[in-house]
Homo-oligomer: A and B are copies of this chain.
Protein backbone atom coordinates (compact mmCIF):
# COMPACT_ATOMS: atom_id res chain seq x y z
CA UNK A 1 0.00 0.00 0.00
CA UNK A 2 1.11 3.51 -0.78
CA UNK A 3 0.40 6.04 1.94
CA UNK A 4 1.07 8.95 -0.37
CA UNK A 5 -1.51 7.79 -2.88
CA UNK A 6 -3.99 6.71 -0.24
CA UNK A 7 -4.00 9.96 1.70
CA UNK A 8 -3.96 11.95 -1.48
CA UNK A 9 -7.01 10.10 -2.77
CA UNK A 10 -8.86 10.68 0.49
CA UNK A 11 -8.04 14.39 0.48
CA UNK A 12 -10.65 15.17 -2.15
CA UNK A 13 -14.29 15.51 -1.07
CA UNK A 14 -15.62 14.23 -4.38
CA UNK A 15 -13.57 11.09 -4.02
CA UNK A 16 -14.70 10.57 -0.45
CA UNK A 17 -18.28 11.02 -1.60
CA UNK A 18 -17.74 8.41 -4.28
CA UNK A 19 -16.44 6.02 -1.68
CA UNK A 20 -19.46 6.72 0.51
CA UNK A 21 -21.73 6.12 -2.44
CA UNK A 22 -19.99 2.84 -3.18
CA UNK A 23 -20.80 1.71 0.33
CA UNK A 24 -24.37 1.30 -0.90
CA UNK A 25 -23.18 -1.15 -3.51
CA UNK A 26 -21.06 -1.31 -6.62
CA UNK A 27 -21.60 1.38 -9.19
CA UNK A 28 -20.85 2.08 -12.81
CA UNK A 29 -19.18 5.30 -13.87
CA UNK A 30 -22.46 6.83 -14.96
CA UNK A 31 -24.17 5.87 -11.75
CA UNK A 32 -21.36 7.32 -9.71
CA UNK A 33 -21.31 10.50 -11.77
CA UNK A 34 -25.03 11.12 -11.46
CA UNK A 35 -25.07 12.91 -8.06
CA UNK A 36 -22.36 15.35 -9.09
CA UNK A 37 -22.49 18.40 -11.29
CA UNK A 38 -19.41 17.26 -13.05
CA UNK A 39 -18.63 15.71 -16.39
CA UNK A 40 -18.12 12.00 -16.88
CA UNK A 41 -14.41 12.37 -17.69
CA UNK A 42 -13.90 14.16 -14.40
CA UNK A 43 -15.41 11.21 -12.56
CA UNK A 44 -13.30 8.80 -14.59
CA UNK A 45 -10.22 10.66 -13.43
CA UNK A 46 -11.28 10.47 -9.82
CA UNK A 47 -11.92 6.76 -10.20
CA UNK A 48 -8.48 6.30 -11.63
CA UNK A 49 -7.01 8.03 -8.59
CA UNK A 50 -9.03 5.86 -6.24
CA UNK A 51 -8.00 2.75 -8.11
CA UNK A 52 -4.36 3.81 -8.07
CA UNK A 53 -4.59 4.19 -4.32
CA UNK A 54 -6.05 0.72 -4.00
CA UNK A 55 -9.29 2.06 -2.60
CA UNK A 56 -11.48 0.56 -5.30
CA UNK A 57 -11.45 -2.29 -7.76
CA UNK A 58 -12.88 -2.13 -11.24
CA UNK A 59 -14.08 -5.00 -13.35
CA UNK A 60 -15.28 -5.17 -16.93
CA UNK A 61 -18.88 -6.09 -17.41
CA UNK A 62 -19.90 -5.77 -21.01
CA UNK A 63 -20.25 -2.14 -21.77
CA UNK A 64 -19.62 -0.82 -18.31
CA UNK A 65 -16.96 -0.83 -15.67
CA UNK A 66 -18.47 -1.26 -12.21
CA UNK A 67 -16.43 -0.22 -9.19
CA UNK A 68 -16.22 -1.87 -5.81
CA UNK A 69 -14.72 -0.75 -2.53
CA UNK A 70 -11.54 -2.28 -1.20
CA UNK A 71 -11.85 -2.06 2.54
CA UNK A 72 -8.52 -3.72 3.25
CA UNK A 73 -6.77 -0.57 2.15
CA UNK A 74 -8.87 1.56 4.42
CA UNK A 75 -7.98 -0.73 7.24
CA UNK A 76 -4.29 -0.44 6.43
CA UNK A 77 -4.46 3.34 6.51
CA UNK A 78 -6.31 3.15 9.76
CA UNK A 79 -3.70 0.82 11.19
CA UNK A 80 -0.93 3.17 10.20
CA UNK A 81 -2.64 6.12 11.84
CA UNK A 82 -3.37 4.05 14.90
CA UNK A 83 0.22 2.93 15.34
CA UNK A 84 1.53 6.43 14.76
CA UNK A 85 -0.84 7.88 17.28
CA UNK A 86 0.15 5.26 19.81
CA UNK A 87 3.77 6.32 19.54
CA UNK A 88 2.92 10.00 19.56
CA UNK A 89 0.61 9.83 22.53
CA UNK A 90 3.06 7.75 24.47
CA UNK A 91 5.66 10.37 23.85
CA UNK A 92 3.38 13.24 24.77
CA UNK A 93 2.37 11.57 27.98
CA UNK A 94 5.99 11.29 28.95
CA UNK A 95 6.60 14.91 27.91
CA UNK A 96 3.73 16.06 30.06
CA UNK A 97 5.08 14.25 33.07
CA UNK A 98 8.45 15.80 32.41
CA UNK A 99 7.03 19.29 32.10
CA UNK A 100 5.03 18.92 35.27
CA UNK A 101 8.16 17.84 37.02
CA UNK A 102 10.01 20.87 35.62
CA UNK A 103 7.34 23.25 36.77
CA UNK A 104 7.72 21.99 40.29
CA UNK A 105 11.27 23.20 40.48
CA UNK A 106 12.15 25.40 37.51
CA UNK A 107 11.54 29.01 36.42
CA UNK A 108 8.64 29.96 34.14
CA UNK A 109 10.56 30.76 30.98
CA UNK A 110 13.12 28.10 31.61
CA UNK A 111 16.19 27.13 29.60
CA UNK A 112 16.82 30.53 27.99
CA UNK A 113 20.36 29.49 27.20
CA UNK A 114 21.12 26.97 24.53
CA UNK A 115 24.13 26.86 22.24
CA UNK A 116 24.73 24.16 19.65
Residues A91 and B25 in contact, CB atoms below 8 Å apart:
yes
Q: Indicate if the CB atoms of B74 and A23 lie closer than 8 Å.
A: no
Which single member of B4, B11, B19, B112 contacts A4 (CB below 8 Å)?
B11
Given the complex, which residues of B lie within 8 Å of A89, measured CB to CB?
71
Sorting the interface of chain A by its residue count into under 10, 10 to 19, 20 to 34 or 35 or more gives: 20 to 34
Chain A residues numbered 1-52 whose CB sits less than 8 Å from any CB in chain B = 3-4, 7-8, 10-13, 16, 19-20, 22-26
* Chain B hits for A25, CB < 8 A: 91, 95
A contacts, CB < 8 Å to B: 3-4, 7-8, 10-13, 16, 19-20, 22-26, 62, 69, 71, 74-75, 77-78, 81-82, 84-85, 87-89, 91-92, 95, 112
Please provide the 4 A-B residue pairs with the shortest distance between their CB atoms, ordered closest to farther.
A7-B11, A8-B11, A7-B10, A78-B81
